[in-house]
A and B are shown apart, each in its own frame.
Chain A
Amino acid sequence: MSYQLVVNGRAHQIEEDGQTPLLWVLRDTLHLTGTKYGCGIAQCGACTVHVDGQPMRSCSLPLEAAAGSQIVTIEAVEGPEADALRAAWVKRDVPQCGFCQSGQIMSAVALLRVKSIPNDDDIDQAMSGNICRCATYNRIRAAIHDAAGSSSSPANPA
């Protein structure tokens, strides 16, 4: 069956089974490989993308449910939160192996858009579904604090 998918602002006509996970479409059909396959069962968060602004695990979202939504991947996420997080990630040298980091950043962007100055509990809660096997959690948390202090999100005060 054919589904229209809007990814990073571009419309695509996808000829796949409706039960295909969005992650496969992104990686294998659209070749957007920045979104990673980690566990395939929505336990690790490596495949996180934004669907209509909400962070979602693309391994657990069927194509037929994603059709018609605005999907943003790590390749195109932008805005003050994304810019601030990118700078903080570099400054803190957050990644170790890096495999989980695109999912971490997508969740962190979504967090800062909801809560511009999160405390430790907010960060732990929002990021609890993103696992890092290198255990860079302290650097991730510090980088989010850094980004929260430097990004401007006037629409979403803490």
Chain B
Amino acid sequence: MSWRHGFRSARPARRRRRIGCLPLLAIIVAVIVLVAAIALRPRALPQPQSIAAAPPKSEVTHLRPVASFASIGDPQARSLALFAEAGRVIQHPRCMNCHPRNDRPTQTNAMRPHVPWVSRGPDGAGEPTLRCSTCHHAANFEASGVPGNPEWKLAPIEMAWQGTSLGEICRQMLDPARSHMDRAALLHHMAEDELVGWAWHPGGTRSPAPGTQAEFGALIKAWLDSGARCPA
């Protein structure tokens, strides 16, 4: 007994509390998760969103009536003012999108390149392998949102408007070599052409051109009658 007692005295008892690594790691991870959960908790619950019953109506803007230009005494200044007012339509995206500077139409009010990639083709209505009529038909189709018209096609490249000034557009319009129209045909195109008229009835949420086609046609007629002056 003494030997055993002495042996114990020579090596004092060292009671080690053995704690494994895994419990410690679990505690650390739990603390991290708890802190992250507190830090990342949503400050507000997601709220349900309702879908509008109908697409928002685009704002209608008006054109100045021709009569309001009568007060401009100088015929040249009146002609220029009439064309400037008509230019609000001419330079509207509904018109400019079909007068691109290259073979690819643009779309939306941002006048971004048409998606998918399409090209005007030999007749302005698409390449034989990808016609406009692949998607665009005789009327706007609300189910798909794709606009349409029986005459859907691009203006000839000689009548590229994008990237040009209103004055240059004016000179293009009056040049039969580029517009392929005399003044009577030009007036008809602006005042009565059904495809041009689409710009006031574009469907969906597209913003229409200002005023009405009749008001626009009256402005063009008054401008032609007043000498068809072009801005610089």
Q: Which residues of B contact A128 (CB under 8 A)?
A: 116-118, 130
Q: CA–CA, A125 to B103, complex, Å?
A: 13
Q: Which residues of A contact B129 (CB under 8 A)?
A: 110-111, 114-115, 118, 122, 125-126
Q: CA–CA, A43 to B134, complex, Å?
A: 11
Also in contact, A54 and B146, with CB within 8 A (given A43-B116, A125-B119): no
Which partner residue on chain B sits nearest A62 by CB separation? B141
Q: Which residues of B contact A122 (CB under 8 A)?
A: 129
Q: Which residues of A contact B145 (CB under 8 A)?
A: 41
Q: Which residues of A contact B144 (CB under 8 A)?
A: 21, 40-42, 57, 59-60
Q: Which residues of B contact A40 (CB under 8 A)?
A: 143-144
Residue contact A57 to B143, C-beta cutoff 8 Å? no
Also in contact, A114 and B128, with CB within 8 A (given A43-B115, A60-B141): yes
Interface readout for B97-140 with A: 1 if CB under 8 Å, 0 if not? 00000000000000000011111000000011111011111100
Which of B119, B127, B128, B137 contacts A65, CB < 8 Å?
B137
Number of contact residues on A: which range applies? 20 to 34
B contact residues, total (Cβ < 8 Å): 22
Q: Does B59 reach chain A (CB closer than 8 Å)?
A: no
Which of B119, B128, B134 contacts A56, CB < 8 Å?
B134
Q: Does B142 reach chain A (CB closer than 8 Å)?
A: yes
Residue contact A54 to B138, C-beta cutoff 8 Å? no
> Shortest beta-carbon distance, B206 to chain A, in Å?
14
> Shortest beta-carbon distance, B55 to chain A, in Å?
14
Q: CA–CA, A40 to B144, complex, Å?
A: 6
- CB < 8 Å A-B pair total: 71
Q: Which residues of A contact B135 (CB under 8 A)?
A: 42, 56-57, 60, 129
Q: CA–CA, A54 to B143, complex, Å?
A: 21
> Shortest beta-carbon distance, A14 to chain B, in Å?
16
Q: CA–CA, A122 to B121, complex, Å?
A: 12
Of residues 49 to 105 in A, which have CB atoms within 8 Å of B's CB atoms? 54-57, 59-62, 65
Which partner residue on chain A sits nearest B115 by CB separation? A43
Q: CA–CA, A41 to B137, complex, Å?
A: 13
Residue contact A62 to B134, C-beta cutoff 8 Å? no
Q: CA–CA, A115 to B137, complex, Å?
A: 24
Residue contact B134 to A129, C-beta cutoff 8 Å? yes
Interface readout for A113-131 with B: 1 if CB under 8 Å, 0 if not? 0110010001001101101
Which partner residue on chain A sits nearest B129 by CB separation? A126
Q: CA–CA, A118 to B146, complex, Å?
A: 29
Which partner residue on chain A sits nearest B116 by CB separation? A129
> Shortest beta-carbon distance, B113 to chain A, in Å?
12
Residue contact A57 to B134, C-beta cutoff 8 Å? yes
Q: Which residues of A contact B117 (CB under 8 A)?
A: 125, 128
Q: Can you list 13 A-B pairs with a CB-CB distance of less than 8 A?
A: A19-B142, A21-B141, A21-B144, A41-B146, A54-B133, A57-B144, A59-B143, A60-B136, A61-B141, A114-B128, A114-B129, A126-B129, A128-B117
**Which chain B residues have a beta carbon within 8 Å of chain A's beta carbons?**
115-119, 127-131, 133-138, 141-146
3 nearest CB pairs, A to B: A126-B129, A60-B144, A42-B135
Q: Known A-B contacts: A56-B134, A126-B130. Give 6 more (CB < 8 A).
A: A41-B146, A45-B116, A57-B135, A122-B129, A125-B130, A131-B116
